Structure 1
Amino acid sequence: MNLSVVKRHLKEIGNYGLYLWKKPSLPSNKFVIFGRGRSGSTLLVNLLTNQNQVHCDNEILHDRLLFPRSYIDLCSSRYQSRVYGFKLLSYQVRDVQPISEPEKFLLSLYESGYKFIYLTRSNLIDHALSNINAKRKQKFHHRSHEGEFKYQPIKVEIEELFQRIQFSEELGKYEKNLLQKIPHLSLTYEDNLLNSESHQKTVDQVLELFNLPSKPVKTNLVKLMPLELSKMVENSEELIEAIKKSKYVDFIRDNTSKSHQQV
């Protein structure tokens, strides 16, 4: 265990001590945004946090913790008078945190009052390319105050694309198994977040879970990638030919004609 991990765990223990000493109450209205990365979850967090009656944390379980369930309560206790939410990616439950029974872990959140929002991305090719682009460039998000953003096309290896798609499919099956016994609001990136025209309706759906009034939405996130494969990928023709020979052919039916963008 390296020094930075030791320091993080010591800080975690110190925070727990303070939390147990103060014994703060927890907010009664809580939610979890659950799903895979690169599915629009940061955009949804951004839209919800700009509602003054809601606070939504990002990935509070991004780093391995000693007591992840207690840490969630600690974070929520800071926002007792507001609706509190946080983003939880499925790989963090499966691969990062010391959770031996993930189904029971999520069920315990639900039973303690957390409402679940399950966010997915339907187009597996777009999802895979978004992951590849973000990892390659180490650029996951861009905000308006950072200045103009210019996208540079990437060259994609066919094998890498299919590996990414298969990884996403596996996580999708894992997520659905975990949520079998948990009622949840299902959202998709394509229907609920891709186009800005759908943002208000999407946020209103979440607010309705807590009987909160609708308020105008806004975001400072800038879209990163064009959806047209010819603009997204240097070797788009090669990529399209490979996809046409695979079971994922339906996912390219709209990509060559639309000009809207993805976050």
Structure 2
Amino acid sequence: MLNFSIGKIARLSTRFKEDLLNPLLEPLFSKWRRGNIAMFHIGRSGSTVLGNLLDQDTNIRWDGELCPDIFQALDCTEERRLALHELKPLLGRTTDLLDRIRHGQRRAGTRFYGVELKFFHLYAFDLGLSECIERLSGLGFDHFIILERRNYLRKIVSSVVAKETGMYHVKHGCKSKLNRISLNVEQVSVDRQTMPLLEFLVSYQECFRQLEQLLKNRKYLKLTYEEDILVNPKVAYGKVCSFLGIEGNPVEVNLSKTNPYPLSDVIENFDDVSKHLEETSFKWMLHDD
């Protein structure tokens, strides 16, 4: 009973600080805040496990992705999610997204404030990468992280599996189940968009290259799922702490890999997908297990 009371008091204290005190003192805190962080990724790249580690750090308030909440509020039902072209006319101006970010900053107090953005989120708000970075800089964002899953095919497969099963994450210590899917190479549907498989792969590649070019004269950290998260997510956490100039806290990984199986086991029509990518620079992604 005593432990429960202490825990409840701690939660109420945190809410008081984040909901009332920090916003009230934002004019002062914004000057003393240690920094603002924007992390770009395409999803299914270890962003959630990394975000959870960062959020455990007392030096950081990690807000994660803001756009999904905005999108879901406009969806017809949980079963009927609007496609990106249906969402765009319903979304407000770019300033609506920036207002959400400002709200998060006010709750951060003097801690680092972090937010995540996917490329298709920006497209939904008619916000180009260059303009996005400039707008974020205007809000005091001075640290940028690029989290790339080099095997884009695995990202797509993971997205399709998650969409079909409703299982987006697996708790640490639990074993993931093999879920097989069929991948229509001419009509892949992920991230509220439908287009040919190759078009997705090329788009991801171009967005990451453009992002690196835009950030070359800014303070940014490049992480990859394969090198920094796949084996031990704490590697990525440690690199972010070094990037921010903080020592870090003891943190615990609370998620496991959702699709650790070879793509040949997951994709029912693996031969069709192989033929489709045979003469492309993405062929290696088929067997990167």
DSSP-derived class of the 1:226 partner? coil
1:131-161 C-alpha deviation (Å, 9 max, x unpaired):
221222232223349x664232223334346
Matched, 1:188 2:224: yes
Aligned pairs for 1:13-52 within 5 A? 22=24, 24=26, 25-26=29-30, 27-52=33-58
Letter in 1 for 2:256: V
Q: Distance in 2 between matches of 1:39 and 1:51?
A: 21
DSSP-derived class of the 2:244 partner? coil
DSSP-derived class of the 2:67 partner? coil
Q: Distance in 2 between matches of 1:181 and 1:243?
A: 29
The count of residues paired between Structure 1 and Structure 2 equals: 232
1:250–1:53: structure 2 CA closer, same or farther, 3 Å change rule? same
Equivalent position to 1:159, from 176, 186, 201: 186
Equivalent position to 2:135, from 96, 99, 108: 108
How far did 1:235 drift? Answer: 3.4
How far did 1:49 drift? Answer: 1.3
1:5-57 C-alpha deviation (Å, 9 max, x unpaired):
xxxxxxxxxxxxx99x9462333322111121222211211121122322211
How far did 1:78 drift? Answer: 0.4
1:202–1:159: structure 2 CA closer, same or farther, 3 Å change rule? same
TM-score by length of 1: 0.75
Q: Distance in 2 between matches of 1:57 and 1:164?
A: 31
Letter in 2 for 1:193: I
**Alignment RMSD:** 2.9
DSSP-derived class of the 1:234 partner? coil
Matched, 1:73 2:102: yes
Letter in 1 for 2:148: T
| Residue ranges of structure 2 left out of the alignment (5+ in a row) | 1-19, 71-90, 189-194
DSSP-derived class of the 2:186 partner? helix
Q: Is the 8 A contact 2:170 2:176 kept in 1?
A: yes
TM-score by length of 2: 0.69
Q: Is the 8 A contact 1:55 1:82 kept in 2?
A: yes
| Residue ranges of structure 1 left out of the alignment (5+ in a row) | 1-17, 256-263
Letter in 2 for 1:202: A
Q: Percent identity?
A: 23
1:45-79 C-alpha deviation (Å, 9 max, x unpaired):
11211223222112113324552223212111101
